[in-house]
Amino acid sequence: MAIELNNPALQHARKLVREGKVVRDERDDWSEAAPSAADENGFIEREGWTEYAHWHLGVDKGEDRETKKAYTFPYGDLTRVRRSAVISGESRAGQYDHIEIRDALKALLELIDADQR
């Protein structure tokens, strides 16, 4: 498993935050807000794998890019950045020593919170 930071996804997330497409919810809200498998499948059918990849800050280079298994650390609900997803992902990334992803999520959280002031 060689999970790396997905830079195009990070740029996409920053752009969405700058455009105000963000939900400032709390960490525990992510379990309810996360897209279901059916939601993800519908999104992939409509938008394709590249767009799906843009919603995940981690990509496993060892996996087929046209499988969900290749993408980790979602930061939103496929329409908006979710603060809850960013917090959850930052914690998980740190727990599993994905330092670059953890730091990217921390910076994204700071951007979300700074934009709120």
Does the pLDDT value for residue 83 go beyond 70? yes
Checking if the pLDDT of 117 tops 60, the result is no
The pLDDT assigned to 2 comes to: 87
pTM: 0.93
| Across 1-17, average pLDDT | 95
Number of domains in the chain: 1
Q: In this predicted model, what pLDDT tens digit does every residue of 41-82 receive, in sequence order?
A: 999 999 999 999 999 999 999 999 999 999 999 999 999 999
Buried b (16+ CB within 10 A) or exposed e, 30-39: beeebbeeee
pLDDT value of residue 27: 83
DSSP code per residue over the chain: --EEE-HHHHHHHHHHHHTT-EE---GGGHHHHSPPHHHHHHHHHHH-HHHHHTTEEEEETTS-TTSGGGEEEE-BSSSSEEHHHHHHHHHHHHHTT-HHHHHHHHHHHHHHHHHH-
Residues 96-106 have a mean pLDDT of 97
Q: Which domain holds residue 61?
A: 3-116
Residue 116's pLDDT is: 60
Neighbours of 6 (CB within 10 A): 24
